[in-house]
Structure 1
Amino acid sequence: MRYLLLFAMRLWLGARLSTRLKRSSRSSNFMINYITGSIRSLTREPGRAVIVAGGVGYEISLPTYVYQSLTSDGIGPGSDVELEIYYHVTDRQPKPMLVGFRHPTEKAFFEQLIQVEGIGPAKAAAALVFPVSTIASAIETEDLGSLQRLPGIGSRAAQKIVATLRGKVAATALLQDVNISGEAQIHQVADARAEAVEALVTLGYRSVEAQGKVEDVIRHNSDIADDVQKLMREVFKAQLPK
């Protein structure tokens, strides 16, 4: 009887230790720090890459800006690449999520952004459609309008971002890629979006409905966000029966 009790106690302690180890591993964001390998596939919508390293294919989510940075440098399937990795997994969402970045500063800014209440890794990744320095500059100057032009970021989210991060991302805002062209790109997208919404309202759509349709198009194809004609074409194409 004594041996049975000892055996049962060992099993119980082993189970407790196993559970703690699993919880510990799930709450850690540093299990995979970076990856070096060959790109097997690269897609824009959603931004995603499959990178083969050590005979294993890793599926990595890519913010729009990171995807555009890769393709503009001629990097695609078959290319060798090294990415900084943010690893995310929790008890509530046990499926691992890997987010890739080309530079440590991008990853560091992403980690700051997800500290804002209501902004998780998926939402933060979707919002990074411009260089992180451009977004950081908008935060430091309290440019709520520019922040609200990021996908998935509304008025309240923009206010929370500024309240949480202003004064903490000044160094990022001063990086080399902060320039007139980056800020002009934000305003160009905003102008195109406003013109497309106005055109839809003229055609009889309600303002809220028009904004939603334009946002859906930009969310699925951010490359045309600054082109009114292409935005309108995609809105109408989405209305066609499938």
Structure 2
Amino acid sequence: MIAYLEGKILHKEADGIILLVGHIGYEVLLDTNTLSICMEKSQADETIALYIYYHVTERQPKPVLIGFLTPDDKEFFQLFITVAAIGPMKAIKALTKPVSKVARAIEDRDTAFLSQLTGIGKRTAEKIVATLNGKVLGFAAPQNSGSDLGSTNPQDFVPEGKQMMVRQVLEVLTQQLGHSASSARRMIKQALEKNPGINSPEDLFDEIYQETR
């Protein structure tokens, strides 16, 4: 199964790209934001790196590759398609807004915002909130744009490979221990800056509470 591709854009299509990897061209579907970023990178002659969701079913035996710029974007997509009546093809067309904003809308129960997504009506927006509310806080933009961190996603201040750990700690801090999202992000950021070698949720909690003693 294909999980990651890195190469140059051979051709732009309406809903994705043909990515040339070695001498093989892979047809990859992209959401509108990812497509725009990839085209900018291509114009700057940068290599395109994509994390791949591989979709194939008995009803659709032809493999479909869906690309994401970060592991977090791919993980959010995999959560998004757990909503009833939202399959991978519908989901990739629906994500016309940045993941951080969609996640924020889900956490805020903002069905009006979600209804603006392509193919998402009011009833589906309500299903999205009912299914995912409380599960996507780690992907969400801060409620206050003047956040202490000045960033919209954990990956903006977390080294690659530690996002999963940070999301786990962030959810415990906010949902179980009562910290605000901005306060939790600030504590995590300070702990990681003081001890960059942290590699587990337990070690991150230890460092956070050393800071707050």
TM bracket (short chain):
0.5 to 0.7
If asked which structure has higher relative contact order (CA below 8 Å, sep 6+), I would say 1
Q: 1:118 aligns with which of 85, 96, 99?
A: 85
Measured against aligned partners, the alpha-carbon deviations of 1:197-226 in whole angstroms (never above 9, x if no partner) come to xxxxxxxxxxxxxxxxxxxxxxxxxxxxxx
Contact kept, 8 Å, 1:132 with 1:172, in 2: the verdict is yes
The alpha carbon displacement at 1:76 in A equals 4.3
Structure 1 counterpart of 2:152, one-letter code: D
State how far apart, in whole Å, the 1-side matches of 2:141 and 2:44 are.
33
Which protein is bigger by CA-based radius of gyration?
Answer: 1
Equivalent residue, structure 2, for 1:70? 38
- Secondary structure class of the residue paired with 2:101: helix
Unaligned runs of 5+ in 2: 143-150, 154-213
TM-score by length of 1: 0.57
Q: Which structure shows the bigger proportion of residues in helix conformation?
A: 1
Change (3 A) 1:76 1:85: farther
The alpha carbon displacement at 1:134 in A equals 0.3
State how far apart, in whole Å, the 1-side matches of 2:131 and 2:48 are.
33
Instruction: Compute the RMSD of aligned alpha carbons.
Output: 1.7
Q: 1:145 aligns with which of 112, 117, 123?
A: 112
Contact kept, 8 Å, 1:64 with 1:128, in 2: the verdict is yes
Q: 1:134 aligns with which of 67, 82, 101?
A: 101
Q: 1:58 aligns with which of 16, 21, 26?
A: 26
- Secondary structure class of the residue paired with 2:60: coil
State how far apart, in whole Å, the 1-side matches of 2:11 and 2:44 are.
5
Q: What is the percent sequence identity of the aligned residues?
A: 44
The alpha carbon displacement at 1:33 in A equals 0.8
Q: Which moved more, 1:97-106 or 1:169-178?
A: 169-178
User: After TM superposition, what 4+ stretches of structure 1 lie above 6 angstroms from structure 2?
Assistant: none
- Secondary structure class of the residue paired with 1:164: helix
Unaligned runs of 5+ in 1: 1-30, 179-242
State how far apart, in whole Å, the 2-side matches of 1:91 and 1:77 are.
40
TM-score by length of 2: 0.64
Q: How does 1:1-242 map to 2 (within 5 A)?
A: 31-43=1-13, 46-71=14-39, 73-76=40-43, 79-174=46-141, 176-177=151-152
